[in-house]
Amino acid sequence: MRLAELSERSGVSASTIKYYLREGLLQPGHRVTATQAAYGEEHLRRLRLVRALIQIGKVPVAVAREVVAAAEDSSLDHHMRLGAAARALPHGPGPAEDDEATGIARRSVEALLEQLDWRCMHDDASPALGTLVASVAALVRLGYPCDTAHLLSYGRIAAELAVADLDAVEEQPTAAGQIEAAVALTVLYEPVLLSLRRLAHVQESARRFGVATDFGSSG
């Protein structure tokens, strides 16, 4: 397909596509003349990923470039490529190591990992792990329940979500497509999960604390 068709099918303007090409976010097309190139389905798929990262996930162009590079790095095994792409995504702040609450939080998180048998997380420098410790430390400072027992239910739900996510990722037929899907699903489903959680809070609050009305009673 030509650039105009790629723009129409992807919903990305031709000028933006040219910008992505210059920035290395999109691989060059197959040159057919001195001034024209042809593009394939892999370009369309990559455009959708980049658009999801930048426009929906608010990921900076430089970070999106790292994700794309990780997806294309065939020197890494599949697990490492997935991890490299995930690490490139924006994360929250890490913990303040000189804070007493951080020490308490880190012990709770380490015990949680033991309970969940997440052995691959031990000695991991993942930004997500640092953000988790920082978040639990904030709960410690404010006096909210955040010991291992309270965290465990969240960890178990996260484990179930990971199975669903990776099942969806494995539906993609190529390794590069799976990595792109893993990143896109992470970016796109996080607001879905947040919204569902808030809606569930409303439903559970109504169940627990709402005023029951028996429409079947006749007074």
pLDDT of residue 215: 45
More confident residue, 76 or 30: 30
Domains of the chain, by residue range, sit at 3-75, 100-203
pLDDT of residue 219: 47
Distance CA 86, CA 42 (A): 21
The predicted-structure confidence for 153-162, as pLDDT tens digits, reads as follows: 999 999 999 9
Tell me if the pTM is above 0.95: no
CATH of domain 3-75: 1.10.1660.10
